[in-house]
Chains A and B, each alone.
Chain A
Amino acid sequence: MTARGRLVLVAALAALVAVAAGAAALTRFKGTDRPHVPRGQGEACVADTDWIRRNHMVALDRQRDATVHEGLRTPRFSLAGCLACHAVAGEDGRAVTAADSRHFCRVCHDYAAVRVDCFDCHASRPERMAEAAGSKR
């Protein structure tokens, strides 16, 4: 093999390594698919979206104690209110339950691998889809 031939071979190998490394880097930084959160039906959420993402569980927790023990039924952080606004329609026209992976809560919680207990007892959908559409809290 001539000197020129060796040079070409080394250059080709180097190029191949560079492409492979680039591809690997791309795969690594792409990560898994981010959750596609369905949009609510109201004009705006009851609080700033970033705040809700971090603190919704605290707000729901406080609301639950206030409602059960003191009878306070303010609509702002009511679980039924969240579910009415964020209901996702299924094939049958009714909202899907938490058993369906398209459910608003499931979308993020599946991604974050955090199990919610709420729906062991609570209804995970409004009784009628119409309630959901008419919800403006």
Chain B
Amino acid sequence: MSAPDRRELLRGLAGAATIALAPGVTLHVFEAQARAPDQKVSAKTRWGMLIDVGKCGDGCTACVEACKTENGWGGGTRSRTDAQWIRALTVRDPKTKAAVTLPMMCQHCANPPCVDVCPTGASFRRADGIVLVDKHICIGCRYCVMACPYGARSFVHEAVTDPKPHAPRGKGTVESCTLCVHRIDAGHEPACAEACADRAGGAMLFGDLNDPDSEIAKRVVRYRTVKVRADLGCDPGVAYRNL
């Protein structure tokens, strides 16, 4: 099914939905009402994500690959210093040796330590809860890289060639997951969540935590979820289930 057909089919739908195309074949969609281009972001919305780790396959990197393609990072040869917006992390119980794989990226905290330490105001939290770096005023000091408890931020060490028009990237600045802010502003879900639903286990649910009718808000209430290092009080926007 081509993209315009799909949009036609889904016109009028809001929130996340799963549509049965044929027995056993489903199409996951996220179609939110896009803000008008001249409308400012507001605190009425808080974007967040619920990740069901139980649905993450061993060695699955669909979300990571989708993020690379969407935002134009990756492809470097220095794994220790290359930028990394999202990574598949395997955590193991030292006693039982039971292991789970989960995606780890910027947790879009309500109280982000990276914003606290930024000396120029380049690290900021947008009204709708997305934590971003304004690279126009980032001086590359990397305080935020040190402050982030989730290791979510990277420094760009080398010149970037041919970045994506919607995801500018430049040497000497810090970057991290933007929750695909360009897609959200256009009414779409982040690339990782879309790829996970289309090509992997459908573990990532994206939505507005402040909207009680949204699928994510309902599930966060219904199921027991974990926020990584909740003890730090950062109040992440990303919650994990079955972790």
Contacts and interface: CB of A to CB of B under 8 A. Distances in A.
Interface in A73-105: 73-75, 80, 83, 97
Interface of A: 64-65, 68-75, 80, 83, 97, 120-123, 126-127
Interface residues of B, number: 28
B200 interface: no
A80 B181 CA distance: 16
Contacts of A121: 135, 160, 163, 168-170, 173
Nearest to B159: A120
Given A71-B126, A71-B185, A97 B160 contact: no
Contacts of B126: 69, 71
Contacts of B181: 71
Nearest to A118: B168
Contacts, number: 53
Contacts of A122: 163, 165, 168
B171 interface: yes
B136 interface: yes
B168 A71 contact: no
Contacts of B162: 97, 123
Nearest to A99: B161
Contacts of B40: 70-72
A82 to B, nearest CB: 11
A14 B71 CA distance: 72
Contacts of A71: 35, 40-41, 126-128, 181, 185
B132 interface: yes
B134 A68 contact: yes
Instruction: In the A-B complex, list the 9 residue pairs whose CB atoms are closest, starting with the nearest.
Output: A121-B170, A71-B41, A121-B168, A123-B165, A73-B37, A70-B40, A122-B168, A74-B37, A120-B170
